[in-house]
Structure 1
Amino acid sequence: MSGWLCLCVAIVSLLLAVVCVSYYLGLLSDITVLAGSPPIKKITFAYKFNEGPYKTCAQLLKESRSIGPKLSCIGVFYDDPKKVPGPQCRYAIGSILSEGQNKADEELMNRYETSGFNIFSFPEVTHVVTTSLPHRAFFSFLLRVRRVYPRLELYIKERRLCAHPFLEIYSEGQVQFMAPLARQGDFYVPEARHVDRRLSEEELHSDTDVSGADSNSEYSSGSGVFLSDSRDTSPAASSVHSVDHRGRSSGGYSFKELDLEQPGRHTEEEKESFHEDAVQKSLEVPTQEWLGVVGGEE
């Protein structure tokens, strides 16, 4: 009898331990995805850019923490690993030096720069898609892959939102996830723009060789996002208007909802008139040279 009692106590204790560990790791945490205010304000951060599978970002995260152990860390992920090969996935990892009106510590900033980190700033936006999860070392990575990002993807898809790139802010035992709904182009570090332009130019040359004519695409390689040539600080000028391959605008409205005409519905007279207008405008407006698909700073 005492043996059975000890066995029952051991089983109950084991189950309680499993529940406690699962709760601590966030396995039982409810994931609530919302569209609202961002978890961070305008930030200045130190970062290193890399291309490769996202699971390899742990080393950069460790390096960044070793320089500023008290700082919140940040990860910015630009590509969908389901659509972009692992070696070509772009990401930036670093630490937040200042937020809002606070100024960054010059000495700490110099330490990061000496270690090969770059300095960049993200603006504060009014609306983002966001959620959070407890941050518990390696297990948090598994939870992000298996639980968080599928929820974020479903939320964005159901509401036909244009939200990119994905940011992760690691602070005080929590991971804050956010994807901006406006000014997305301002969240692309210069290296990400250069890689985008390089890949797009390669695709452009490939298309030219096959078709014998140049054909610029409006989409950035892999992510389907058009980026402007400059990072304007004004919300109106720096907003990025992206259109995905199904014809959605950045606000998530379809052609049908906007009552726009679909291609192929013009009459012959309309086509001829449109062609004449286009020729006339081409004579009046000087030709603008585009650097591949995505403009960027040299």
Structure 2
Amino acid sequence: MSDWVSLCVVISLLFSLLMVAVYFLYSGLLSDIIVLTGSPPVKKITFAYKFKQGPYKNCGQLFKETNSIGPKLTCIGVFYDDPKKVPGPQCRYAVGSILSEGEDKADEELLKRYETSGFNVFSFPEVTHVVTTSFPHRTFFSILLSVRRVYPRMELYIKKRRLCAHPFLELYRDGQIQFMAPLARQGDFYVPEVRHVERRLSEEEELHSDTDVSGADSNSEYSSGSGVLLSDSRETSLGASSVHSSVSPLEQGDRDYRGRSSGGASSKEPDWEQAGGQQDERKESLHGDSEQKNLVVPTQQWWGVVGGEE
């Protein structure tokens, strides 16, 4: 009798291990990751978002919130800082949902719902070249796997080709997590709250440092955290968005993990709060220590070195 019980236990254990292995494989454990330089996965977009500064681990709640308002919309996360070089409380990100793409109009009812919930509205331009790849988004574990697998590949690709690519965007739709980092017009991918943070940091540094010794320009908007010099002008005006929203600085967050199923096609909603706890691992997997040379737009070291593209 005891032998029969032992055999049942062994069979159950083997079956459980088999199910776990199948789950991991289905989640994308062995999926090919092909990093390319090419056209972006989206055109010009208008999106509702909330901006936060602090640990990326907290962004899962934002994905959950934005998905609850527009469950059929594509969720987007934009990550501005390298958590290996920027303290967690200072890391910046924006999370929201895409309201319209290209020349399409945003749904007015959805727009009002987002604005009522405290979201702002902004537009990103369409660019011709980005560093991009994708990863299957089939289960919650797909999000964790993308942390471990995608960002090291993107880092290596950017470093080898000495590219200037930032910030990093993630889009969740059609059962895929689409990753992209623009190679041009990077300043246009920084939401207005980032500029507010830059100005505040600049003012604080001006109060606590001797500008004559440092030689720093007190009016500079150079971010000591992200290493990005932001211009006051946008080729696509900040006010030219097809949808308006008053921009009010929102509380901000850092780097562990978020996740969110793309709007329309997904039948399962991932646990965004659990996903938030993995953001640090994913970002730390990406960031390298390459030095910068001849940058047209100064960027963080982990974004690589410019290779002739702005």
TM-score range, shorter chain: 0.7 to 0.9
Q: 1:198 aligns with which of 197, 200, 211?
A: 200
SS of 2:209 mapped into structure 1: helix
The 2-side partners of 1:24 and 1:47 are apart by 31
SS of 1:229 mapped into structure 2: coil
SS of 1:119 mapped into structure 2: strand
Question: 1:125-274 counterparts in 2 under 5 A?
Answer: 125-136=127-138, 138-208=140-210, 211=213, 215-216=217-218, 219-233=222-236, 241-243=296-298, 251-252=306-307
Partner of 1:74: 76
The 2-side partners of 1:40 and 1:133 are apart by 16
- Do the aligned partners of 2:131 and 2:181 also contact (CA within 8 Å) in 1? yes
User: 1:21: how far off?
Assistant: 0.2
Question: 1:21-60 counterparts in 2 under 5 A?
Answer: 21-60=23-62
The structure-2 alpha-carbon separation of the partners of 1:98 and 1:70, relative to structure 1 and needing over 3 Å to count, comes to same
Extract unaligned runs of 5+ from structure 1.
235-239, 254-298
Larger radius of gyration: 1
Amino acid at match of 1:164: H
Q: So what's the TM-score if we normalise by structure 2?
A: 0.71
SS of 2:71 mapped into structure 1: coil
The structure-2 alpha-carbon separation of the partners of 1:25 and 1:194, relative to structure 1 and needing over 3 Å to count, comes to same
The structure-2 alpha-carbon separation of the partners of 1:114 and 1:11, relative to structure 1 and needing over 3 Å to count, comes to closer
- Do the aligned partners of 1:241 and 1:250 also contact (CA within 8 Å) in 2? no
- Do the aligned partners of 1:243 and 1:249 also contact (CA within 8 Å) in 2? no
The 2-side partners of 1:30 and 1:212 are apart by 48
1:1-28: CA deviation from partner (whole Å, max 9, x where unpaired): x969878865664454233201222222
User: 1:53: how far off?
Assistant: 1.1
User: 1:135: how far off?
Assistant: 2.3
SS of 1:38 mapped into structure 2: coil
> Number of residue pairs matched?
247
Q: Give percent identity, aligned residues only.
A: 70
The 2-side partners of 1:143 and 1:102 are apart by 33
Partner of 2:247: none
User: 1:192: how far off?
Assistant: 1.0
The 2-side partners of 1:64 and 1:213 are apart by 43
The 2-side partners of 1:204 and 1:21 are apart by 53
- Do the aligned partners of 1:208 and 1:215 also contact (CA within 8 Å) in 2? no
- Do the aligned partners of 1:48 and 1:92 also contact (CA within 8 Å) in 2? yes
- Do the aligned partners of 2:40 and 2:130 also contact (CA within 8 Å) in 1? yes
SS of 1:228 mapped into structure 2: coil
The 1-side partners of 2:35 and 2:206 are apart by 38
Extract unaligned runs of 5+ from structure 2.
238-294
Amino acid at match of 1:23: L
With a CA cutoff of 8 Å and minimum separation of 6, indicate the structure with the bigger relative contact order: 2
CA RMSD, Structure 1 to Structure 2 (Å): 3.0
The 1-side partners of 2:18 and 2:29 are apart by 14
The 2-side partners of 1:22 and 1:213 are apart by 53
Amino acid at match of 2:164: C
Amino acid at match of 1:70: K
